[in-house]
Structure formats: C-alpha cells, structure tokens
C-alpha cells in the first residue's frame, strides 16, 4: 500500500505545536503525468550505473510501499519534530 498522509508536528519548550497534515496521495497526480520523463531519467541512470531497470523499479516501489508506518522523531535543544507517514 502506498502512503496517503504525512503528519508533521513541530514543538518547542513554550509551545506544544499543532499537527500539519500533508495529503501525499495528491502527489500521485503529477507523478503519473511526469512518469514518461521519470522513466527516461531512471533508464539513463540505470544504464550509466549498469543496474537492471526492472530491478531499480522494483526497489523504488518497495521503498515507497514500505513508507506507511514510518515515524521519525528528532529532538535538539528543547525543540522536537515528529513526522509520521500513514
């Protein structure tokens, strides 16, 4: 399953922050429209690096489908950034 939403929360010592919801599924529209160019660039990179095109496509698709459930937390100097991908 591909990722649908990203929730970002930025907090500091004084403010708890509020969640910012980013609809990732809307990014699929330009990706589909630009897919011929993306495929040409990916093919060129695969030829230059001597990697199978199908293997590269399969690997990228696996990474994209593995994103849901990812949670990243960064804390520094009392500031925190949380990113969750649903």
pTM of the model: 0.73
Residues 50-54, mean pLDDT to the nearest whole number: 94
pLDDT of residue 84: 95
The answer on pLDDT for 1 being more than 80 is no
Residue pointed to by tokens 């925190």:
80
Whole-number Å distance between alpha carbons of 47 and 40: 11
Looking at the structure of the chain, the number of domains it has is 1
The answer on pLDDT for 23 being more than 80 is yes
pLDDT of residue 2: 82
Range(s) of the domain holding residue 69: 5-85
Highest mean pLDDT among 2-6, 40-44, 75-79: 40-44
């Amino acid at each position: 399953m591909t990722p649908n939403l990203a929730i970002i929360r930025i907090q500091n010592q004084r403010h708890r922050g509020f969640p910012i919801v980013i609809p990732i599924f809307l990014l699929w529209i330009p990706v589909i429209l630009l897919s011929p160019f993306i495929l040409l660039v990916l093919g060129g990179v695969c030829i230059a690096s001597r990697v199978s095109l199908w293997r590269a496509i399969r690997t990228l698709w696996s990474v994209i489908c593995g994103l849901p459930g990812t949670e990243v937390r960064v804390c520094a100097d009392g500031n925190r950034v949380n990113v969750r991908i649903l």
